[in-house]
Every structure is written in structure tokens, then in C-alpha cells.
């Protein structure tokens, strides 16, 4: 009886066709791992995306505040503070929108009419009605928001665009509205 090659039952089948080289096996394995890692990365990216809601229930960033005649010269208008965190100020030649966020650590100052200044209750920073800082720890003036006229003649404040004094941006066209 000729000596036959012993083939274990578990590996019955065309062993020739199924044979896979070491290099090929490793490359298949690498593709598998890469696919797994890509899937894992996608999963965690999707998890991270969940923290950024599609709809925000906060007040809009861009809103109409009325006509120029609604604002008295030399007054700080407090009507938009509570909902939009904006003070609208009209001086002799322009109207501008000031952010109510203190430039020190982000509290909300109060407008003191008698003393003609914004005073922050947290650490005592003081600002003039122009937004210019003059006392306390605030390192720079209040920020101004973009302000312009809509086609219906109403004034629009757009909080997406900020104008900072220290960058020389207050002189730009939409940092204040000439009236």
C-alpha cells in the first residue's frame, strides 16, 4: 500500500485553492483592522455630533429693533438686554449695539443712569456709554455688534459679527449706523 499523505478530516476540501499566503493574510487582516478602526472613528464622530443640536431654542442672532426714531439721542436703550443681551445706544450722529458681556470674565454689567456708566456687579468694571472701559479689571472696551438698515427701514442687529475697539474695528461701516 502506497503511503498516502495524511489529511485530517477537519481540513477536507480543496486545500490547494484555499491556501492563502502569509503576506496576503496580513494584508487582508490590515484591511479588516482599518475598516474596524474607521467604523469606530465614525461612531465616535457621530457621538460627538450629537452634542451640537440642529435647532437652537435661543433667541435669534439677527433681529430687528425698530426705527431710528424709536431711540432717543444720548440714551442707553435697555429694552433688548434681557432677551438679546444687547444695549442699543444713540449718540449725536450714530446708533450702535453694545454687547452686554463684560470683557473681564463675562458677567452682565448694569447701566447706572445717574452715574452714566455700565457697572459690572462681579468685579466692579466700569464702562462709559460708548462701551469704553475706564475702571476695574476689564482689559478692553465692550464689544459692538453689526448694525444696519433693513429694506423696510428698520434697524437690524446681527450678533454673528463683532467689532472690537482694540482691533480698530469701531470705525468700520457697520459697527455703527449713521443717523
- State how far Cα 161 lies from the chain centre: 11
Residue 174 to residue 64: CA distance in whole angstroms:
15
User: Contact between 168 and another protein (CB under 8 A)?
Assistant: no
Binders in 97-136 for another protein, by CB under 8 A: 105-107, 122
Residue 139 to residue 142: CA distance in whole angstroms:
10
Closer residue to another protein, CB minimum distance, 95 or 109: 109
Cα three-residue angle 102-129-157, rounded to 5 degrees? 75
In the complex, least distance from residue 44 CB atom to another protein, rounded to whole angstroms: 14
User: Contact between 23 and another protein (CB under 8 A)?
Assistant: no
In the complex, least distance from residue 47 CB atom to another protein, rounded to whole angstroms: 11
Contact residues toward another protein (CB under 8 A) are 48, 51-53, 56-58, 85, 105-107, 122, 160
Amino acid at each position: 500500500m502506497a503511503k498516502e499523505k495524511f489529511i485530517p478530516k477537519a481540513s477536507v476540501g480543496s486545500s490547494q485553492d484555499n491556501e492563502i499566503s502569509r503576506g496576503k493574510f496580513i494584508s487582508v487582516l490590515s484591511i479588516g483592522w482599518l475598516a474596524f478602526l474607521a467604523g469606530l472613528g465614525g461612531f465616535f464622530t457621530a457621538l460627538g455630533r450629537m452634542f451640537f443640536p440642529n435647532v437652537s431654542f435661543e433667541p435669534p442672532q439677527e433681529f430687528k429693533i425698530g426705527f431710528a426714531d424709536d431711540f432717543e439721542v444720548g440714551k442707553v436703550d435697555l429694552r433688548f438686554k434681557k432677551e438679546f443681551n444687547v444695549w442699543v445706544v444713540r449718540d449725536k450722529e450714530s446708533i450702535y449695539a453694545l454687547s452686554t458681556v463684560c470683557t473681564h470674565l463675562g458677567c452682565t454689567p448694569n447701566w447706572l443712569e445717574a452715574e452714566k456708566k455700565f457697572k459690572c456687579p462681579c468685579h466692579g468694571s466700569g464702562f462709559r456709554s460708548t462701551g469704553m472701559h475706564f475702571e476695574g479689571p476689564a482689559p478692553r472696551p465692550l464689544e459692538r455688534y453689526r448694525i444696519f438698515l433693513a429694506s423696510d427701514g428698520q434697524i437690524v442687529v446681527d450678533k454673528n459679527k463683532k467689532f472690537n475697539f482694540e482691533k480698530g474695528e469701531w470705525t468700520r461701516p457697520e459697527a455703527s449706523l449713521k443717523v
